[in-house]
Copies of this chain bind each other. A is one copy, B any other.
Amino acid sequence: MTTLKIQTPIIIVNFKTYSEATGKKAVELAKKAEKASKETGVHIVVAPQFTDIAHVAEAVEIPVFAQHIDAVCPGAFTGHVLAESVKEAGAVGTLINHSERQLKLADVDAVIRHAKEKELTSCVCTSNPAISAAVAYLHPDIISIEPPELIGTGIAVSKAQPEAVTNTIKLVRAVNDHAVILCGAGISHGEDVAVALKLGTQGVLVASGIVKAKDPYIVLQEFADASKI
């Protein structure tokens, strides 16, 4: 997978720093995602922690994203995360500007450019339609709208704020016809995914809905099935 071909519908699973998705458990969860992807034919991406990218990328064939990269180039930047480094570890893309790891405006631009140069798929998270439209001008590969007040609540953006999703699509498409548009926050049921796609998105960005599920594989399958309709 390169930045040039993103298959949709797409489900991106953000592992965050959940203990259920750290270390060996990250690899196990990625394998479940791979299994659900193969069985359903739906494109599933996993976004583990930096330290787990290498092992996850070795264990599965589905695409692996980083959760963040810093706006720095190779050099004297102790403790930072390079586009180059997540790529060499096996990532093919990265989340950018997640509401839990926000970037300065100029750094959002810089990081999208770095990702492009290194052929990493860039997925920028935004919190409302206006910001989504602003980001559309910076030409990321994927824009995912996630109203922060719904993250982790189990109240799905697609059902609670459908207009945030449709306005994002409308505003983004006015200036950018190729970015893949996702939505996230509170996605917990297959129906939430189905509604998101019906609203016009090309997939979802999910986290606790999968990672914290009793049986993540079952829920992944449910999400994938719902996204095929």
Contact = CB atoms under 8 A, between A and B. Distances in A.
Interface of A: 14, 16-19, 22-24, 49-55, 67-68, 72, 74-82, 84-86, 88-89, 95, 97-106, 108-109, 126-128, 130-131, 133-139, 151-152, 171, 175, 207-208
Contact of A79 (B24, B68, B84): B68
- Stoichiometry, copies per complex: 4
Contacts of A97: 105
A131 to B, nearest CB: 5
Contact of A127 (B54, B106, B152): B106
A128 B109 contact: yes
B105 A102 contact: yes
**Residue in A72, A79, A86 whose Cβ sees the most chain B Cβ within 10 Å:** A79
A222 B95 CA distance: 43
Contacts of A138: 130-131, 134
A74 B131 contact: no
A16 B80 CA distance: 8
Contacts of A54: 51-52, 54-55
Given A108-B105, A130-B109, A137-B171, A22 B84 contact: yes
Which 10 A/B pairs are nearest by Cβ-Cβ distance? A68-B79, A79-B101, A23-B88, A50-B50, A51-B89, A19-B74, A134-B134, A78-B100, A78-B98, A134-B137
Contacts of A208: 76
Given A137-B130, A137-B134, A80 B17 contact: yes
Given A88-B23, A131-B138, A134-B134, A75 B16 contact: yes
